[in-house]
Amino acid sequence: MNVPIQKPEFGTKTGKYQWVHDSIVNVCTGEKDLIANLANATAILKENFDWWWTGFYLVKENELVLGPFQGPVACTRIAYGRGVCGSSWQQKKSMLVPDVHAFPGHIACSAASNSELVVPVLRNGEVLAVLDADSEHFSHFDATDQQELEKICAYLATLF
Ligand code: SME
């Protein structure tokens, strides 16, 4: 484990994500406990982005079950195909939602959340978990967030 203490100046959002990605790889390298690794990954995301809520739901016995997260209390279980998280699991793709109130079936764990990005953790075409990021701002997430979180989730899939 080797997380740099001094954060560099980030020229671009992509540069910041590169540093976040490398920090997650550093902290997880050599540690085989999945929950510990996902907990540190959420902490690194929380430290670097001003999101309202971020965390993982793990696929367990045909449901999504709440895993490590940072933020307010959230719903514990989400069914296949339900809400933004369950839809990401079902469709095996990221869901970029600029206005959650316009998303049919959105599950409002917090009334403060207005936009959301959910990225599946995929290995060999199977969804192992989803990473959920919520913001109190509308249209907070963009294609860069999606692309970069997909890279992070591709790495995290190797830890399951
Ligand atoms: N909004 C999500 C539920 C999870 S919470 O936001 C933490 C959804 O619709 O799946």
pLDDT digits (tens), the chain, 160 positions: 666 556 777 789 999 999 999 999 999 999 999 999 999 999 999 999 999 999 999 999 999 999 999 999 999 999 999 999 999 999 999 999 999 999 999 999 888 999 999 999 999 999 999 999 999 999 999 999 999 999 999 999 999 9
| Residue numbers of the domain that contains 19 | 13-157
Whose tokens are 């902290």? That residue is 27
Q: Which residues pair with 54 in a beta bridge?
A: 70, 133
How close is the Cα of 109 to the center of ligand 1, in Å? Answer: 6
How many domains are contained in the chain? 1
Is residue 69 domain-resident? Answer: yes
3 state DSSP class of 134: strand
Predicted TM-score (pTM) of the model is 0.94
3 state DSSP class of 64: strand
How close is the Cα of 22 to the center of ligand 1, in Å? Answer: 27
φ/ψ (deg, to 5) at 17: -65, -35
Is residue 6 domain-resident? Answer: no
The enclosing domain of 83 has a CATH number of: 3.30.450.40
Q: Report which protein residue has its CA nearest ligand 1's atom 5.
A: 109
Q: Which helix (H) or strand (E) covers residue 97, if one does?
A: strand 95-97
How close is the Cα of 67 to the center of ligand 1, in Å? Answer: 13
Q: Report which protein residue has its CA nearest ligand 1's atom 7.
A: 74
Is residue 19 domain-resident? Answer: yes
